[in-house]
Structure 1
Amino acid sequence: MEIAGVPHELIRWTSRRSDQIAACLTELEHEYVTAVDDDGTSRFLRVVSERARTKLNRIAAKMTRPPKQKARPLAQLRAWWKASAILISGVAADVINSLLEYARAAAAAIRARGAAVVDVALAAVDVAATVFVMNSGGRFHRRHLLAEARRHLALALRGRRRNLGLDDRIVTAAIATYCLDISEPKTSRGQQPGYRLYTARWALSGLPARRPPIPAPDPDRQPPADPGAPNGPRHPE
């Protein structure tokens, strides 16, 4: 995570935890690809898959987690942070002492480059498309549209304060133009606007039909197959 106006050296100084996890992950991956059973065969694949790397990353994060420290006053923590940043990060002391002013100046420059006017129609289609893709089965509620509309405004306005009700206008336009109500309410609460269920209005008939995925065994527990082995089971003659 980077913040405008904050020197990159200071950000790197605060990312020591991720460096420790990365170093531990490298060691775990080496152990993974070199692990063998009692008979000398490889226990896992010679290449670390994405699934295995995700598991190893969780293990590395747990192994490198520092012990919990005793609670201290916020003022004491801030004083320690400032002194440590000046001594270790390599950033000038005057920059650290005026860090808030640097960040505010950078934010003002960024806002000056962004337009203050939001295209509601364009925002509506962007919000509807994003929510449709991000939710399982392409089904969503009004709250999902509202959350995405606010994220869209935060990006479009570059942190400026949005006009009151602008997020609701985008959601209303998205529902009216690009959303289809597929609710089947069985209670009075289900008939309320906040509980209505929607999907995208645009036609998807032109897309190729998707076949359900076939479950596959976990490849991380099996060594690579012998290229000379038969592809299927042998049947008795």
Structure 2
Amino acid sequence: MNVTAIVLAGGAGTRMGDACKEVPKSMLAFDDKPFLEYLVEWLIGAGIRDVVLSTGFLGEYIASHFGKDVWKKEGVRVVREEAPLGTGGAIRFVSTYANQETLFLCNADTVVEIDLPTTFQVSAMIQKPMISVVTLNEGVPNQGAIKVESGIVTEFREDGSIRPLTKNGGNFRASSTGCYFAQKSLVLSEHFSYGSSLEKEILPRLVEDRLVGAVSSGTGIFFDFGVPERYAFLKQNTWILRKVYRAGL
């Protein structure tokens, strides 16, 4: 795939307490293997040969692991924010290092079951500069925050409210997985500004301008392990990682 994957791995992990005092959240181990390694191997296995890891807090830990030749030869690079830029600013900053026009954005603390090559093909057919990969699972954060009409996102409200996942023909409500396809030209435009939040500021404006499409991942696994309880659950259920990331194993 002619895609640059940008993995957002710069979070401070404040919700994780002592677990992330010395190890970044994305490098927490499951079956003696850092989560970020599962994710990067999966991206490579899907055919992506340009992977940029966006780091911040404890970024040297990630750089030490992925700065080795075995990763460099697969097209993996590590870029560090010297100061917090917000999700929108981080994406804009790291995108300047991307070798491809099409970007795949994802978070380094979330397990998302996606057929990446197929999702990429479908997203290209929608012909919008940004595509949100959505889930139809219930009981997820900001359930029903996204309203989709004929493949176009017409509403994006991540305000903590729970909305029913309704469906009426080609119109439906879904939830964000935190994964997106975006055109580099859009990310480097005035729509993305340093210090801004992607979900709270940038996406609502893009939706208002009808620049965002949506592709559904159905009811595949979607799991954020960014709090101690969910981290402990995933530690005890590593079959989830083996199932989702089997293409990279």
TM-score category, normalised to shorter length: under 0.3
TM-score, scaled relative to structure 2: 0.19
**Higher RCO by CA contacts (8 Å cutoff, separation 6 or greater):** 2
| Higher helix proportion | 1
Give 1 or 2: higher strand fraction: 2
Bigger Rg, structure 1 or 2: 1
